[in-house]
Each structure stands twice: as C-alpha cells, then as structure tokens.
Amino acid sequence: MNPMRILRHPRAAVVIHDLFMVALAWLAAGWIINRSGFSGIIATLPLGAELLLVLGVQGLILWSTGLYKGLWRFASFPDLWNIARASAFGTLLIITALTIFYGAAVRQVLGPLLVYPAILFLALGLPRMCYRFWKDSRLPDTSKVSGLQRVLVLGAGRSGALLERELRHRGASEVVGFLDDDARLRGAQVHGIPVLGAIDQLPRVSREVGADLAIIAMPSATNQQMQQVVEICERSEIEFRTLPTLNDLGNKATRIDDLKRVAIDDLLGREPVSLVWDSIRDGLAGKRVMITGGGGSIGSELCRQIARLNPVELIIIDNSEYALYRIDHELQSDFQDLVFYSVLGDICDPATVEKVVGEYRPDVIFHAAAYKHLPILQTQIREAFRNNVLGTMRLSEAAERHQVETFVLISTDKAVNPANIMGATKRVAEMYCQNMDARAHTRYITVRFGNVLNSNGSVVPLFKEQIAKGGPVTVTHPEISRYFMTISEASQLIMQAAVLGSGGEIYVLDMGEPVKITYLAEQLIRLSGMVPGRDIQIIYTGLRPGEKLFEELFHELEPYEQTQHEKIFLAHPRQADWGDLSAELRVAEIAVTRYDTKTLKQILLRLVPELARTSISTKPGAAEVISIYRAS
C-alpha cells in the first residue's frame, strides 16, 4: 500500500493509530512467544524489517476490508466484524510471508501466532467502542432539548459546507454526516464530518445514524436531479428541507434562515440562467426604468432585479393599491438607496398614462400590466380588450411622444394560434407594437413566454388551496400540459431580451419541455406529505371554453432562429396592415365606451382569424366532472 495515499486520506490519524496498534499487537505476540520458549525463530530477522513486513501486510488487509469507510463516532458490530476478518486474514498472510523467509521452521510458532489476531482485535476494536460510548454519553437527550436535531446534509459541496458551519454556530442541530454522489468524496470529511455515502443510500444511512432531518444542499441541481432526490427523501421517511436555488440565493450567503420546504419550483425549475450581465447593466444601469403592473408576479420580480442594477429612478405603476403597497414596502426595506416612485393608476386611463410618462420621462418601459386569467376573460371581452389592447396602445403611443428609448411588451405563448380571448387580445397588442416600431424612434420589443410557477392566479396556488382543504384537486383534462418557468428566470430573461433587440422583434423564451398538469398536481400533493388518489383525489372536470390541450411557442408562419443567448429565440413576426389595424382599433375604442361586446368580438375575429376556429362565449359556463384520477 502506498504510504502517501494513507497520509492524504481524510482519516489519516485513524490509519496511523491502527498501524501503531498492529505493531504493538505483533510485539506483544512476540513477547508471549518468547515467554513460551519459542524465541529462536523470531530473532532470525532484524526487528525493524520484521515490523515493516507485518505493517505492510496487515495494513493492506485493513484497508481492503473497508474499515476506513466507517467512523469511530458510529462504530458498530459491522466494524468489529471487519476488524475480526482483517485480523484473521492478516495473520494468514503474515504466516505466508514469514514462511518465505523461515521455510518449514515457521511451523514451530503457529500456535503462539494465534495470540496475535486476538490482541489485534482488542487493540483495534476496544478504542473504537470506547470512543463511541464517550461521544454518546456527551450528546444531549434530543427528547429533552427542544429543537435539537440530528441532520444529514445531501450535497458535500460549498453550499453544504456553509450550511454545516451555520448549523454548528447556531447550536440547534448537529450534522452527523454528508451524502454526495461524487465518488471522489467518498471517505472524505467536510469540517471534520464524514461523507457517509451516495444520496441513494439515505434510507439506510438515516437509520444507522439516527437522523431526524435531511437537508438538500444542492442549489445548482436540475429539476430532474431534484425529483430524484425528493423521491429518495420520501422513501427514507424522515423530514427533509432544501436550500434555495442559485437564483433565489442571489448574492446572499447561505443562512439557516434560508432553509425551506421543497417547493414545486425546485422540481420544475431548470438549470440556473446564465445571463450576460455586462450587457444588461449597460442597457439598464443609470437609466430611468418604468414598470407597469409592478405589483404583480412578473412586475414585482422585475422591480427587484432592476433595483440591483442601480437605475437612476424606478417608476412603478399598478392599479391595485395592496399590490403597490407590498412592492413599495419591500423596496424601501431592501434598497434604501434606490430612488423610486410608486404610482397608483390605470394604464387604460389616458390622463394617467400621459401624466406619468410625461412627468418621469423613462428611458425604458417594461409593460407587464395585463389581464391574464383565461376563464374570467373568456366572458369579459370588453375588459380584456380595454386593458390588454387599448392600455398597450395608449402606453406605446405615449412612449413615442415622450421619446422613450425602449418599450418592452411582455406577452404570452397563448398569443400563438389563440383559442381564447386573453390570447387574442395579447396577439393584437403584439401587432400594434410591431407596427409602432416601424413608425417610431422608440425600440418596441415583444417577449413571449408561457406559464410562470406560483404567479398570482396561476394553477399552483389554486392546487395548494385545494390540498389545504383536503381536496379534491381539479384538473381539466388528463393529458393537458403547459410550459412552465420560475418567476426569477422569466424576469431575468425579459431583461436580457430587452437589451438584445434593436426593435420590432418577438423574442420567445426557451420554456424547456411541457409539463403535464396532472404531474404538477401529483407532486404538490406529495410535497404536502400525502398520496395522490388516496389522501387527496384528483378530479378531471373537462376543458374550459378557449382552453387548449397543448400550448405553442411559435406560429407556423413565424420562422424562428437562435439568438446569442441559448435560452432566447427570435421569431420573425407576421406583418399586419397598419391602415386596417388602426381603423379597427378606432372602432374598438368606441365599442369599449359603449360596452358593445358584440362589435369587439367581431373585431377580434377579423384581427385574429385563428380565433374563429374556437367558440367565443360571453356567458359564464359551468364545469362538469368527467372523470376521477386513479392512483397507479
């Protein structure tokens, strides 16, 4: 065995201790042999050479039995069995080696040599068991000490090391080991705490070490890796938590306060977005940035992200007093040097739009204000058109009048072959901004993406509410699927697209693979500690008016290409006649003031002919239960 390998081993002190005990056991055996009158043979070789031979042979056997994968802290009968095997096999090999030097005469000392393995077994096993007894006696009784937990950390990288240090400093928990799939870390130590095996060994290791909690310290894990780890944690039947993802952590240090339950974002989120921050800073730092719908899910995240880029001013508009209050309070607390203004107003009000854009004169506008709830808008054509189309029209025109550099329209995948009112109105908004770009100095850029996890009014909060009430969870169709991304990822890619475009582009964010809504419901139920189909039922209610089984990211007449950013595509927009569009929208403005939904419906059908392939209702419809989920 290579001595340098021993010295580099994370438990080198244990190896040195054992080799010392091997030498001591051999000398003790020699003393017994001498006392028994068998001294002639032993003196044949120099003592130093004899000890080197014994240490080499016995050390090789101890290493090969896997004894150094275990810890004294958790020494048990399997470790004693390894010591017994190593002592026996080591003795046989030593006898073989001595035979090479002594020949047949070695048989004279076979009887006394049997003392050696017994002494070695005691010399190696007794210190281990005494150490474990001593450590156990010093541990506080977890049943009497409130909050003290024995923790296994999944992931022995930098985040796991930071977490262990934080837990140790707080003194409320004891990390008893790490698990990591990196084979190079097996047998290593992190801050003196061993890596006990691979993550899939959690069920066994958690029982052996008496762990109360597993913490997933893998902020860069992909959704597939997180799904596998969570499944292993569920099999282990112990409580588990996770650190935030890299996007959630941002520039913060890992803290115990950041521990959280595994959320659906962790399972369906994707690899961290790699942004070209230099170009984003050049495009937004030192600028006046306005965000409409700044209190909403995407708008508020844009506020947080842009606030970190040192804009000259940040102007936030929202028509919800409470939403505006929340983001205002958050920005005041987290960005005390930020100059920002909160405006309670409606983008559909021409006076508000003119006043705000004219007074603050932003350099960049992120237009996130929109109505988006599909079932409600399906019976509210007037409000959908007023907000999503006319609001965008007034804001985009004000941007040109007041020389705004960049106007970013945040659109949706539902604008592709729209089958509903919401998608059709967003498509008309896209058409208007593209035409404005051809006639104005302002750069008009459209960013299109799918569903955002945990956004206001989305399916995830609805499912959580239904699960909290004991079910059932309602899904419209067993095969329905949607594209999902996290709020943080969507917001960052919107900023990246804003600085990529020169004007008139439709950027489409890479949404990854579509996710079945049934799978989403199942995972949320499991993350709540229950079993789908047993504890919580899933009921299929049938597709709602305007709802498609599968969403699309590109229209068949919109060829697309890759941009310099791997997660952003450029769709070549379809051209719309400016004269026809302007004329239709002038009629639409009059129809909105008269609450003429019939005319608005006809205008939508003319502007977005794809909508004619689906039914448009102006009356609420009732869902009907068509089937019930059966657990497989």
Give tens-digit pLDDT for 57-79: 777 777 777 666 555 555 566 67
Q: If you average pLDDT over each of 99-103, 325-329, 414-418, which comes out highest? A: 325-329
Tokens of 174: 């004891």
pLDDT digits (tens, 9 = 90+) for 220-267: 777 677 778 888 888 887 888 887 654 444 434 344 445 666 666 666
Q: What is the DSSP string of 608-625?
A: -GGGGGS---SS------
CA distance 164 to 255: 10
Instruction: In whole angstroms, give the CA distance from residue 349 to residue 398.
Output: 12
307 neighbors 314 (Cβ within 8 angstroms): yes
* Amino acid letter, residue 352: T
Q: Could you check whether 149-262 and 277-558+588-613 share the same CATH topology?
A: yes
Task: State which fold the 149-262 domain adopts.
Answer: Rossmann fold (3.40.50)
* pLDDT at position 314: 93
Contact 342, 316 (CB under 8 A): yes
Placement of tokens 């409580």 in the chain: 239
Rounded to a whole number of angstroms, the distance between the first and last alpha carbons of the chain is: 53
| Residue 573 phi, psi dihedral angles, 5° rounding | -70, 155
pTM (two decimals): 0.63
443, β-bridge pairs: 406
Tell me the per-residue pLDDT of 289-337, one tens digit each, with 9 for 90 and over: 999 999 998 999 999 999 988 889 999 999 999 999 999 999 998 888 8
Task: Note the pLDDT of residue 48.
Answer: 63
Whether residue 10 contacts residue 187, with contact meaning beta carbons closer than 8 Å, is answered with yes
Q: Name the residue ranges covered by the structural domains of the chain.
A: 3-138, 149-262, 277-558+588-613
Amino acid identity for residue 10 in this structure: P
Q: Cβ(288)–Cβ(503) under 8 Å? A: no
336: number of Cβ within 10 Å: 7
- pLDDT at position 196 is 84
For residues 482 and 551, is the Cβ–Cβ distance under 8 A?
Answer: yes
Question: Which has more confidence, 430 or 1?
Answer: 430
- From 197-211, 268-282, 516-530, 572-586, the region with the lowest mean pLDDT: 268-282
Q: Is the model's pLDDT at 421 over the cut of 70? A: yes
Q: What's the confidence (pLDDT) of residue 553?
A: 62
- pLDDT for position 6: 44
User: Which residue is associated with the tokens 């009907």?
Assistant: 624
- The answer on pLDDT for 109 being more than 70 is no
Candidates 158, 162, 207, 153; CA nearest to 180 is 153
Least confident among 21-25, 203-207, 577-581: 21-25
Residue 53 corresponds to which amino acid?
Answer: L
Phi then psi for 560, rounded to 5 degrees?
-130, 160
* Yes or no: domain 277-558+588-613 corresponds to CATH 3.30.1060.10: no
Question: By C-alpha distance, which of 183, 202, 186 is closest to 194?
Answer: 186
Spatial distance between the Cα atoms of 392 and 387, rounded to a whole number of angstroms: 7
CA-to-CA distance for 37 and 44, rounded, in angstroms?
15
